[in-house]
Amino acid sequence: MAGNEVDSIEKIGIIDNVYSGQIIDISKHPNADRLSLVKVRLENEEYEVVCGAKNISLNDKIVFAKEGAILTDPYSEDSKRVKLKKSKIRGVLSTGMICSSKELGIGDDHEGVVILPKDTKIGIPISEVLGDVVFDFELTPNRPDCLGILGIARDLGAIIGKKLKKFDLSYNGSDKENNSNLNITIEDPDLCSRYTATIIKNIKIEPSPEWLKSRLIAIGERPVNNIVDVTNYVMFETGQPLHAFDYEKIQGNKINVRRANNGEKLVTLDGKTRNLDNSMVVISDSNRSIGLAGIMGGENSEVSDDTTSIVLEAATWNSTNNRQTAKKLDLNSQATLRFEKGLKKGLCEIGLRRAINLIMNITNGVTSKNILDINTDINVHPEKIFFHYEKIKKVLGFEIKEKVTEETLELLGFKLKRQKEGWDVEIPCWRPDISIQEDLVEEVARIVGYDDIPTTILSGAPPSSKSQDFIQLREKMSDVLIGLGMYESINYPTTSVEAEKRVLINKEEPKYIKLKNPVNSEFPIMRRSLIEGVLENIANNSKVWKEPIKIFELGKVFHDNGGRKPDEPYYIVGGFAGPRKEINWDSDNSDVDFYDVKGVIESLFEEINLEPDFEVSDNPLFVPGICASIKIFNETIGVLGQINLNIVEKFNSEIEKIFIFELSVEKLFDLIKKNKKYTIKKFNEFSRLPSSYRDLSLIINSDIFVEDLIDQISKNRLVKNINIFDVFEGKGVPKNKKAIGLRLTYQSSNKTITSDEINKSEQKIVKELKNKFDIDIRE
Amino acid sequence: MSEKNIKELDDIKQQALLGLSSLGSVDQLENWRVRYLGRKGDLTNVLRGISNLPIDDRKIVGSKANKLRIYLEEEYQVNLSKIKSGNLDIQDAIDITLPGRKVKMGRLHPSTTMIREIIQAFNEMGFQTVEGDEIELEKYNFDMLNIPADHPARDQWDTIWIDSDQHDDLLLRTHTSPMQARVMEKNDPQVRVIVPGKCYRYEATDATHEWHFNQIEGLAVDTNITFADLKGTLYEFVKKIFGPSRKVRFRCDFFPFVEPGVDMSIDWNGRWIEIMGAGMVHPKVLEAVGYDTEKYTGFAFGMGPERISMLQNEITDIRHFYSNDLRFLSQF
C-alpha cells in the first residue's frame, strides 16, 4: 500500500506434531555402532528413538517429531516432504525423531540435530520456539532503508500508528581499551565521506547461536561464523553494510582509504584476483590493499577460525563510484546493492554500534568505550528541509490535518519543528531519498493512503488542438486496408545485413544503424524497409494458413541521414499470396494476381480522394514486366508487383506467387498537403437525362496499353463511362493480338440523346481508334 | 341439346381445376389460360357456339358459361398472385443453410486496436496526441527525467544502445517518457498530451516480457494541477475502457520523474492487476525544461496497451503479438 509490495509469504518451522523436548538418557544401539538409543521427554510423555547424530549430550533440549509429523526428506534433492512413521531401525523400534534443521525445513544442516537454548520450555509446539514467517518484499530502488528490516518495520509501524521499539545500540566498553593504536586516514573525502571503526579483542571464532543462524537462513544467507554473521545480520537489520578485518593481519596499525594504483591486484573474499585501476577505492594498511571499499573485503585480512581480535568497519562510500567499480569488476555484492543507492553518513555509526552491541553479547569480546570516527566535511544529503503548510494541499488537491502530518512524519523518524509558515523538518539518517518538499508530501500521502485522496476532473480549457492530420491519414489508410480484407501485422524493427540484402539490392553499401547490444545478436541492425518483414510473415503463414494471405504493416523504417539522429519515415507495405477468396461453394478459386493488388491500391486511393497513375517500372525485386510504380501528382510514392522468384526462394515460402506493394506515407502526406485543394471532395452535378450503352469488341496488338485506348475514347464528350468487360488472348484471336470488350455509356448533359447521335459518335470513335492504334472490330 | 352443352361446361370446369393445381410458373399458368380462356380456348368455343342454340337453351347455357368464365378468370388471378409471391413450388426453394458470399474484412493488429481505444478515451478528455522518435538521445530518455547516469534507478530500464562512431548517447527509447521533456521544451504551459509509441528494453523475451512493445504516456501541466486531478483523470479512463463499476486501487510507487509516485491497479476477477504507473511531475523535470516550479504543477502516467489487451482478450503469452500468425491476428 505504502510503496513496498509483499511478493510472497513463506512459513517456516511451523510443523504440526513437532515439540521441544529434553534428552534424559543416551545409550548405545545394540546392533549398530554409529547409532544411539535416546530417551526424550516432552512435558508428560517419554519416547525412545534411534538417533545417528553425534552432537547430542544428556539434558540437551532438542526438537522432537512425533509420528505423523510432515518433515523434509534430507536426502531428496527437491526437498520432498514425507510423513514420519514408526519404524524399526536395526531391530529397535523408534517412535519418533530428533530433527536436524534440514528436516525441519529451516536450514541446510544435516550433520547434527538442532540444539535449543538451555532455557527452552519442553513439550511446547515447535512453531512457538522456532516458527517464523518470511515475507518477501518487492522494493522500489529509492528506499535503501527498506533493504533493512528496520526500514520495513518503521513503515509498517507508521501505517498502523505504532512507534518502532527502542533499538539497542549500547554496550559495555572497557576503560582499559582504546583505539588509539589504529591510525585511520582518508585520502579522498569525495569518495569516502565518513569512516567509523573499532577494535574488538579477546574473541573466539565459533558458530553463531541458533537464533542468529536461523534468522540468516530464513532470509537466504549462509551462516559463516559469529563475527561474519553479525556483520551480515546488522546489514539486513539497519541497511548499513559492515566489514570485519582480522586485526592481526593489518600491517603497521594503519588503515588508509585511497584510490587503487593502476595495475594493482587484490584477491577478494570470493578467492578471485581483481585487477584494479585508479578509478577504484581500496582500504589499505601500511603496505598493501586489504579490501575493496564498500564492495568486498580482501582475502589477506579475512577473519578466520584462529582470529582473536578484529577491526570492525562501517563507512559511507560515494554511490556513483561504488556502482561504477562494481560494474567494472562485474562484482555485485549485498554491500554495493546498498551503497550504490547513496547511504547517508549518519547511518554508519548506527550500524557500527549495533554490531558492537551484538558481538559483545554473543562473545567475550573486549572493546573501547569510544569508536574511531573520521567524519569529513563532505555531505551530499540535506539534513533539514522546510515544509510549507500549504504544500500538501497544493500537490494533492486535498487537505491533511497538520496534526496527522506531524504524527505520520514523526512515526517515520522525521523530527518536526513548527515555524510561522511551515515546519523545519529534520531528515533521519536512514532516508537518503528525501530532499524536497514533494518527497514529504509523498511520505504523508502514502501512509494516510492514496485512496483517501479525492478525484477531480481537470479544470481549465483543454489546450487548442493542433493538426493531427498525419495520424488521421495513417489511421484512414489502415482502416481502408482492413476493409479490403487485409490483416495488420507488426514486426520487430531489427534485422541483419544478410537478411536485409534479400530484398534491398544496393549498389553501394549503405550506412547501417547498428545496435551495440541487440537482444538477439542475429539481428543487430535497424530495418530500412518493411518488405522483408512482410515477406517473412507471408512465408511463415504459407505453412499454416490455407486461406487468402493478405497482410500489411504500417510502421517506421530507419535511415541514416548523416545527422545526429536518423530519419524514421513511415511506410505501408502490403503482401498477398494464395487464393483470391475464401474457398466457398461457388467462389472463384483462382489465386491472387497483380490486378487484385492494383485494385486494392486503387480502392485505397479512391478513399483518400486521389487517383494514382501506374507506370511500367523496372525493379530487381519484382518479376520483370509484372511491376509498376505508383505515382500521384507526377511523383513516385510507391511500387507494386510480383516478387521475383529468386527472392521468394530465400524466404522458405510454400507459396511461390507473392505480390507486394509499398507506399511512402510521408511522401504521400507531403503531396496531399501541397495539393490540398485537389483532395477535398467537390460535388459534381449528375445528369438526370437517360443514358444508353453500346458494346464494342476490338482486336488490338498485344503491346498496346488498354489505358491508351480508354484515354482516346474518353475524349468524346458523349461518352460518360467506359467499362472493360473482357480481355482475351488465345483461341480465335490472331497471334500477338488481344481481344478487348468495351461497354461505352453515352449520355448528354443537356438533352435526351438519340440513337442517331450515338451511332455517329461510335463511328467517329472507331475511326479514330483505327487510325491511332490499328484496331479491328470483332464481329 | 342444352344438356350436352351443360355437360361440356362441367367437363371444362373439372379439367381446368384439375390442371390448375399442378401449375408452378407464370408460363404454365398462361398456357392454362390460353387453353381455356384464350381466343381459341375451350370455354371461348362454347361461348361462341351459344348463338347457334335454341333461344331457351341460350339463356341457360349462356348464363352458366359466363359464370364459369368469371370463375376461371378469378382462379387465374388467384393462382397468378400465388405464383408471383413465390409461395408455390418446393422445387424453387433454395438451401438457406449454404454460407453466403461474404465480403471478408481484415483486422487491425490487437495492439493498434487497444492503442486507438485508449487514445480516444484521453482525446475525449482534451489530451492531444503527439508522437516521437524511437531512436532517442540519452539526455531526453534519462537525464532530463531525473534519471542521472550511474544512478541505480537506471536499472529499471535496461537499455539497447545504438552503435555509432560519432555519438555514444543514442539509444532505442526505453519508454515514451522522453516526449514529456520534448513537449515541454517546445511548448509553454498549459500542456495536455497523450503519446503512443513503440519502446524497447534489453531483456529476454518470455510469456510475460517482450523487448519490443508499445507504451502510452500522458502528461498534463498547468497551474493548480493536483494529485486529485490525476486520480480523477485515471478513474475516468478506467470507466471508459473497463466499464463504470470497475474497482481501482492506487498505491505508492517509485519512478524518478514523478513525486509523489503511484501505481494503479484494477480489480480483475478478484485480483488486483497493476496496469499503470503515474505521479506528479517531479520538480526537477519541470526545472530541466525551464518551467517555473512555483507556478506550475503537473501529472504524468504511462501504461502498456499490450498488457491491457492481454487482460481484455485473455491472451496468455505476449509473444503472440509479434508472431504475426494469421491464426492469431484473425481472432481480433
The closest alpha carbon to A662, from A546, A528, A777, A755, belongs to A528
**Residue written as cell 545504438?**
B162
Give pLDDT, residue A425.
Answer: 97
Report the residue of B262, B326, B328 to disrupt the A interface, i.e. the one with the largest count of A CBs within 10 Å: B326
Among the partner residues B235, B251, B260, nearest to A455 by beta-carbon distance: B235
The closest alpha carbon to B213, from B174, B156, B266, B265, belongs to B174
Q: How does pLDDT run across A81-133, given as a tens digit for each residue?
A: 888 888 888 888 888 899 888 888 777 777 788 888 787 888 888 888 777 78
Mean residue pLDDT of chain A comes to 91
Q: Hey, are the CB atoms on A141 and B220 less than 8 Å from each other?
A: no
Across the range B240-254, mean pLDDT stands at 93
Using an 8 Å CB-CB cutoff, list chain B residues near A482. Answer: 105-108
State the DSSP code for A466: -
Beta partners for A40? Answer: A23, A47
Q: How does pLDDT run across A177-186, given as a tens digit for each residue?
A: 888 889 999 9
CA dihedral A204, A205, A206, A208 (to 10 degrees): 100
pLDDT value at A464 more than 70: no
pLDDT value at A57 more than 80: yes
**Residue of B221, B258, B262, B278 marked active site:** B258
Percentage of chain A beyond pLDDT 90 is: 66
The closest alpha carbon to A702, from A724, A722, A727, belongs to A727
Report the residue of B120, B135, B264 to disrupt the A interface, i.e. the one with the largest count of A CBs within 10 Å: B135
Q: Hey, are the CB atoms on A482 and B160 less than 8 Å from each other?
A: no
ipTM, 2 dp: 0.82
pLDDT value at B12 more than 90: no
* Contact pairs from chain A to chain B, CB under 8 Å: 242
**Residue of B33, B173, B175, B320 marked active site:** B175
A207 at interface of B, judged by CB pairs closer than 8 A: no
Give pLDDT, residue A351.
Answer: 96
If pLDDT is split at 50, 70 and 90, which confidence band does B38 have?
A: confident
Among the partner residues A462, A465, A516, nearest to B162 by beta-carbon distance: A516
Give pLDDT, residue B101.
Answer: 85
Across the range B171-190, mean pLDDT stands at 94
**Residue written as cell 549518519?**
A346
Among the partner residues B106, B167, B202, nearest to A481 by beta-carbon distance: B106
Please state the pTM of the whole predicted model.
Answer: 0.81
If pLDDT is split at 50, 70 and 90, which confidence band does A461 have?
A: low
Give pLDDT, residue A2.
Answer: 64
**Angle A100-A101-A104 (CA atoms, 0-180°, nearest 5)?**
95
Q: Sketch out chain A's domains with CATH numbers.
A: 12-133 (2.40.50.140), 183-375 (3.50.40.10), 468-675 (3.30.930.10), 692-777 (3.30.70.380)
- Whether B175 is catalytic is yes
Q: Hey, are the CB atoms on B226 and A395 less than 8 Å from each other?
A: yes
Give pLDDT, residue A77.
Answer: 72
Burial A437-448 (b: 16+ CB within 10 A, else e): bbbbbbbbbbbb
More confident site: B140 or A179: B140
Q: Hey, are the CB atoms on B229 and A556 less than 8 Å from each other?
A: no
Secondary structure tally for chain B: helices H, strands E: 11, 10
- Smallest CA–CA distance, residue A303 to chain B, in Å, is 31
Specify the DSSP element, H or E, that contains A556: strand A549-556
- Smallest CA–CA distance, residue B73 to chain A, in Å, is 39
More confident site: A61 or B155: A61
Mean residue pLDDT of chain B comes to 90
3-state helix, strand, coil in chain B (%, to 5): 45, 20, 35
If pLDDT is split at 50, 70 and 90, which confidence band does B157 have?
A: confident
Given its phi and psi angles, is residue A661 left (phi above 0), alpha (psi -120 to 50 degrees) or beta?
Answer: beta
Percentage of chain B beyond pLDDT 90 is: 60
State the DSSP code for A687: P
Q: How does pLDDT run across A16-34, given as a tens digit for each residue?
A: 888 989 999 988 888 888 8
Distance of CA A140 to the CA centre of its chain: 14
More confident site: A11 or A501: A501
- Cβ atoms of A576 and A534 closer than 8 Å: no
Across the range A26-47, mean pLDDT stands at 87
pLDDT value at B183 more than 70: yes
How far apart CA A13 and CA A116 sit, in angstroms, is: 13
- Residue A647 φ/ψ, nearest 5 degrees: -80, -40
Across the range A31-42, mean pLDDT stands at 88
Q: Hey, are the CB atoms on A485 and B106 less than 8 Å from each other?
A: yes
A472 at interface of B, judged by CB pairs closer than 8 A: no
